[in-house]
Amino acid sequence: MHTVKHWFNDSLIGQGLLVLGLGVGLNALLRHDDPPAMWLVQGVVFTVVAMVAIVLQRRRMSRVTGASPGAIAGLMRKIRHHEVPRDPRERAVMRRLVGDQLGKIERGERWLPYWLGAMGLVAVGLLVLGFTGGALGYSLFFAVFAAAFCVWLLWTRRRTLHLYRDMRRALREQG
C-alpha cells in the first residue's frame, strides 16, 4: 500500500488513471441511461482537464522553488511527516516551497467568508425550493453535504496552516 500511495503522489500517469476511473465510474452511476461510450468520452474529458490543471500547478511550483516536480513531491512528503532536510540546498528549496504555500493559503483567507457564505446561501435556497416543491430529501442531503464540506474545508485549512507554520519554524531553527 505504501508504494501505491507514493506512485499516485509522484506519477502523473497514476493520477490520470485515478481521475479517469473516477470520471467513468461517476458518469456510469449518475448517467446510467447514456451509452458506455459516452461515459468513457466524458471521463476522458474530465481527465484531460484535471491533468492540465495538475501539470500547470506542478510547473508553477517548479518555477517558484527551482526544483523538479519529483523533488517537490518528495519535499511535500517530508513536510507532511515533519522531516527537516539535512542538505542546506534542499532546506532552501523547502523554505521557498513553504513560503509559497503559506502565502497562497493566507491570500485565500480574504475570500473564504464569501465562499462559505455563498455555499450557505445555495444550501438554504435549495432547502427552500425542496420544501416548497415537495422534494425535501435531495435538498436536505445537499444541505448536509454542503455543511460537512465547509467544516472539512475549514479543518483542512487549519491543519495545513499549522503544518506549514511548524515547518517554517523548524527551518528557521535549523539554519
Give the pLDDT of residue 2: 65
pTM surpassing 0.85?
no
Query: What proportion of the chain, given as a percentage, has pLDDT over 70?
Result: 98
Would you list the domain boundaries of the chain? 1-65, 87-175
Is 34's pLDDT higher than 70? yes
Residue the block writes with cell 455555499? 119
Amino acid at 94: M
Q: Is 34 helix (H, G, I), strand (E, B) or coil?
A: coil
Nearest by Cα to 109 from 158, 142, 60, 145: 158
- CB atoms under 10 Å from CB of 173, counted, come to 8
Give the pLDDT of residue 175: 66
Question: How do residues 45-104 score in pLDDT, each as one tens digit?
Answer: 999 999 999 889 889 989 988 888 878 888 888 998 899 999 889 999 999 999 999 999
* Polymer length of the chain: 175
- CB atoms under 10 Å from CB of 74, counted, come to 18
Give the pLDDT of residue 1: 61
Query: What proportion of the chain, given as a percentage, has pLDDT over 90?
Result: 43
User: What are the DSSP calls for 109-170, one per residue?
Assistant: TTTHHHHHHHHHHHHHHHHHHHHHHT-HHHHHHHHHHHHHHHHHHHHHHHHHHHHHHHHHHH
